[in-house]
Amino acid sequence: MANHILEAATPLPVDLLQRFDVPGPRYTSYPTADRFVEAFGPADYLGALHQRAEGAMVGGKKPLSIYVHIPFCESVCYYCACNKVITKHHERATEYLDVLEAEVALHAQALGGVQNVSQLHFGGGSPTFLSDAELSRVMAFLQKSFRLAPGAEVSIEVDPRTADPQRLAHLRQLGFNRLSFGVQDLDPEVQKAVHRVQSPESIQSLMVCARELGFESINVDLIYGLPKQTPETFARTINQIGEWRPDRIALYAYAHLPSRFKPQRRIDGSQLPPPEHRISMLSGAIGGFLGHGYTYIGMDHFALSTDSLAAAKRQGRLHRNFQGYSTQPDCDLIGLGVSSIGRMGATYSQNAKTLPEYYDAIRQGQFAVVRGLALTRDDLLRRAVIMALMCQGRLEFESIELAHLISFNEYFRNELSQLQPYVDMGLVTVTPGAIQITAAGWFFVRAIAMCFDRHLQADRVRERFSRII
């Protein structure tokens, strides 16, 4: 089934890693967000919400997930490509929360009645920019319109520089049961180069505190390819993180796109590691985490075998959403806050990316959606194919044919021929009725999925994406 899980430190050939050191989509959605159009606006989003409400009345309601974007940060991290507002003026959060509360009320009105939520995630920016009282306020107005289901995943991104044990205790009291710590690298010279200085001791103490408070899962974010990183320094970071044993690890490749992301212009390009060092860092990290007993989930995610994400991988229950791999079933997603992305039925939507635009729309009593997409039949078909490959690592033709009323071999004749090089490299096996990604192929699943991306195949413009490796 889906479980080509590498349990040992299996080395990956360097030449293979080098071959796939190219840009490609992360497929947190299909079509990808760069395909959203401005023709999709507030009225289209409202229609999608009404369709959900009508479906609920006849018993067709999907699980609901909520993402809350808190854009504020006290200082800029030079590598950052997130939508954020850099400020030390914490009073700016008051106006933002006023508008956020109004946006929640708009959703409640459109959906009619209190909605059950199986997943709630706070991201940013830095959600811990908010005070304890402000975090309490957000949870309070969310719970007026949404009801957390038993066993719901309630997670928040934590900047270790703006959190302490008292803050973690308050988060636990509010109902958060999962934390994600932004670490990126433990080497002091790398931290200085990206303007994010934090001591290993402070991070470790917060992780210990989180376990004592009973958080169900602790994630650590790391980035390779940052300035002043070397294979040797990053190996020390990998080993230290492995010894701390967070439940999950997200290992991202740094995408240096200074023309798109202004903070990255402060990075000295001459200090970036050369491609061969990036490849070595990735190879070493994979081997290091597998050697520490982690399961490779897919793409850039690792988890301990005791974590629910690893269990979902073993049991073929992985899913994928805008936050990455998830244990939650196929969900409608409400994106709250500036720049947030949502998914409702067969549509995607994104809020305004600037605070003035976002504030103005909500204050006029309308949703702040400025672009989105209504998926076509072909989009839905290809989404099912790509997500099966990304999440289960196996695609049964018959299931796609029954759900979408096509002949798989005829519809995807060209795509199947494009898979042949991956078959020759031992990354994929193709039988008359299925596609199976091999153990080694899991590390290159983005490249394999790209074969089925009609939009990407049409224009071949990939500079907008991060690198696969």
d(CA 453, CA 383): 9
d(CA 318, CA 321): 10
CATH 3.80.30.20 placement within the chain = 32-334
Whole-Å CA distances, 66 to 139, 161, 203: 12, 26, 27
Whole-Å CA distances, 431 to 2, 149, 280, 417, 420: 15, 41, 34, 13, 12
Q: Give the pLDDT score at 464.
A: 54
DSSP state of 266: G
Residues 6+ apart with CB under 8 A from 388: 394, 395, 400
d(CA 346, CA 333): 11
Query: Do residues 297 and 318 lie in contact, with contact meaning Cβ atoms separated by under 8 Å?
Result: yes
Query: Do residues 157 and 192 lie in contact, with contact meaning Cβ atoms separated by under 8 Å?
Result: no
Cβ atoms within 10 A of the Cβ of 212, count? 12
Q: Give the pLDDT score at 469.
A: 62
Q: Is 467 helix (H, G, I), strand (E, B) or coil?
A: strand
Residues in the chain predicted with pLDDT less than 70, given as ranges, are: 1-14, 21, 56-61, 459-469
Residue with tokens 């605070």: 355
CATH number of this structure's domain 377-469: 1.10.10.920
pLDDT (tens digit per residue) in 285-323: 989 999 999 998 987 899 999 999 999 988 888 888 887
Q: Give the pLDDT score at 467.
A: 62
Can you say how many angstroms the Cα of residue 111 is from the centroid of all Cα atoms in its chain? Answer: 26
Q: Give the pLDDT score at 8.
A: 35
Q: Give the pLDDT score at 4.
A: 41
CATH number of this structure's domain 32-334: 3.80.30.20
d(CA 78, CA 443): 28
Q: Give the residue among 414, 449, 442 at the shortest CA–CA distance from 427.
A: 442
Dihedral sign for Cα atoms in the order 242, 247, 253, 258: negative
Phi, psi for residue 369 in degrees, rounded to 5: -65, 125
pLDDT (tens digit per residue) in 149-161: 998 999 999 999 9
Q: Is 335 helix (H, G, I), strand (E, B) or coil?
A: strand
Which element (helix H / strand E) includes 139? helix 132-145
Q: Give the pLDDT score at 217.
A: 95
Whole-Å CA distances, 100 to 119, 340, 341, 393: 18, 12, 14, 38
Cβ atoms within 10 A of the Cβ of 349, count? 28
DSSP state of 435: E
d(CA 23, CA 328): 28
